[in-house]
Amino acid sequence: MPIDKKSILKGLEEAKKTTEKRKFVQTVNLILTLKDIDLKIPENRINELIELPHPPKPKTYITVFASGDLALKAKAGADMVLGKEDIEHFINDKKGVKKLVAETDFFLAETSLMSTVGKVLGPILGPRGKMPTPVSPTAPIDTIINKHRKSIRLRVRDQPNIQISVGTEEMENDMLVENIQAIITLLERRLVKGQKNIKEAYIKTTMGPSASINMR
């Protein structure tokens, strides 16, 4: 069963209350510790995109690898659109690749360019969990871009710990609670024993102490 909204709200209010004001807008993070799950089994690992009810950050940077009509349509919504020649240019520009990867939250790629992206950028994108989402040439690219602007990637690999951004301290508490509920709901569906596989849950701002969420 889902974690009670009041429990999440109480933890969120405590996290915000104990956070000192900084000269920048702090991120609000959800921290989860899992239990009784064997991550050596590939099926127990998680790498999924979650569309949240509310955008988790003011600006999500999206780069699209595309050509032809798809590239033209993507320019209306993406922050950067790169073609095959642009991708191949990165073969001799490792610094440029790292800068692009650091600045981009999500990559989308036309299916015909996936192999090129994999060869040139895969060694850097893969380990960072930023391999592109494949997109058909006829796909509604504007809808896909908008979906990614409201999304975060949930990853559980070799450690039973998760720290994931759910928004910023400037967002209304109800919006943050709804984002947290969306993440936990998906995680419960993916875990063998659902909520029983979640040992502890905390909320924390970038520079503040953590506040626990009552799991019962």
Q: Is 12:177 a contact under the CB 8 Å cutoff?
A: yes
Q: What's the pLDDT at 5?
A: 86
Residue spans of alpha helices (H) in 35-169: 68-74, 84-89, 94-103, 114-125, 141-149
Both 104 and 144 in one domain: the answer is yes
Predicted confidence (pLDDT) per residue in 97-149, tens digit: 889 999 999 999 999 999 999 999 999 998 888 999 999 999 999 999 999 99
Mean of all residue pLDDT scores within the chain? 92
Q: Give the C-alpha separation, 110 to 125, whole Å.
A: 16
pLDDT band at residue 1 using 50, 70 and 90 as cut-offs:
low
Which residue among 101, 128, 148 closes a domain? 148
Q: What's the pLDDT at 2?
A: 62
Both 43 and 79 in one domain: the answer is no
CATH (domain of 13): 3.30.190.20
Helices and strands per DSSP (H, E), number in the chain? 7, 10
Q: How many domains does the chain have?
A: 2
| Structural domain for 73, as ranges | 62-148
Neighbouring C-alpha atoms within 13 Å toward the C-beta of 215: 15
Q: Give the C-alpha separation, 50 to 183, whole Å.
A: 7
CB atoms within 10 A of CB 52: 21
Q: What's the pLDDT at 140?
A: 96
Both 46 and 124 in one domain: the answer is no
Q: In what order do the strands lie in the sheet with 161-168?
A: 161-168, 27-34, 198-205, 211-212
Predicted confidence (pLDDT) per residue in 163-214, tens digit: 999 999 999 999 999 999 999 999 988 898 988 999 999 999 999 899 999 8
Q: What is the pTM of this model?
A: 0.85
pLDDT band at residue 14 using 50, 70 and 90 as cut-offs:
very high
CATH (domain of 137): 3.40.50.790
For the chain, first and last CA: distance in Å?
10
Which residue among 148, 170, 196 closes a domain? 148
Both 78 and 124 in one domain: the answer is yes
Both 98 and 129 in one domain: the answer is yes
Both 30 and 92 in one domain: the answer is no
Both 89 and 111 in one domain: the answer is yes
Q: What's the pLDDT at 55?
A: 94
Which residue among 148, 168, 192 closes a domain? 148
Both 166 and 195 in one domain: the answer is yes
Both 80 and 40 in one domain: the answer is no
Both 132 and 74 in one domain: the answer is yes
Both 100 and 171 in one domain: the answer is no
Both 104 and 75 in one domain: the answer is yes
Predicted confidence (pLDDT) per residue in 31-60, tens digit: 999 999 999 998 888 888 999 999 999 899
